[in-house]
Amino acid sequence: DRIIPARFLKCVSFDSLGKSVFEDDRKTLKGSHPFDLKENQDCSILIVNSNFGCGSSREHAPQALIRWGIRAIIGESFAEIFYSNCLAIGIPCFTLPKKSIQDIQNYSLSKSLFLKIDLKNSFAESEELNFNLEIKESSKKMFLSGEWDATTKLLENSSLIERKFKNLPYIKFSEAFNK
């Protein structure tokens, strides 16, 4: 796992994961990793390439990113489990074509980039760059309604879950067998 190496997953809570995000890559690059550069220290939008999060299917990866300070990710594409784990904790993941990602990355090599995201209109803008972002409509609705927390949804619908549980044939069989 490139985002948070497995040796850091022994923690009881996610609180300390932020400081170890991209630890191996940062160590290899000896201070020149984007997360180590002074101009990036307060950045909250992560710009990535294709299939970001592949191999990072544990929830620890987005947890480490959010604890570092990342609040949104824009990339060419995302690994599905990573994408879902980001949504579960409130990190929207937007996509852009490869050319647009390269434009952002190239621009930020020479100048600081303050990018503002408008989730409702799926748009990102700076003083010099503008992009129509793509996000799954269901994901967008979750963020706009504030209802992306699956645990809260389960708790709110406990009576429906209990009714379904009682009607599952293998549960009925098990209860009859145990009498």
pLDDT digits (tens, 9 = 90+) for 129-172: 999 999 999 899 989 988 766 677 778 888 998 888 888 887 65
Residue 179 in this model has a pLDDT that exceeds 80: no
Residue 155 has a pLDDT of 82
Q: What angle do CA 31, 55, 76 make, to 5 degrees?
A: 75
Q: End-to-end distance of the chain based on CA atoms, in angstroms?
A: 48
Report pLDDT for 113. Answer: 87
The pLDDT assigned to 51 comes to 96
pTM value is: 0.82
Band (96; pLDDT cuts 50, 70, 90): very high
80 has a pLDDT exceeding 80:
yes
Predicted local distance difference test score (pLDDT) of residue 158: 87
Is residue 39 predicted with pLDDT exceeding 90?
no
pLDDT of residue 148: 66
Confidence (pLDDT) at 175: 57
* 49 has a pLDDT exceeding 70: yes
Instruction: Determine the average pLDDT of the residues in 40-58.
Output: 93
Closest CA to 65 of 124, 8, 22: 22
Give the strands of the sheet with 93-95, arranged side by side: 45-47, 72-75, 93-95
Model confidence at 176: pLDDT above 60: no
The mean of the pLDDT values for the chain is 89
Q: What percent of the chain has pLDDT over 70?
A: 93
In angstroms, how far is CA 136 from the centroid of its own chain? 13
pLDDT at res. 10: 83
Per-residue model confidence as pLDDT tens digits over 119-129: 999 999 998 89
**Do 77 and 95 meet the contact criterion of CB atoms below 8 Å apart?**
yes
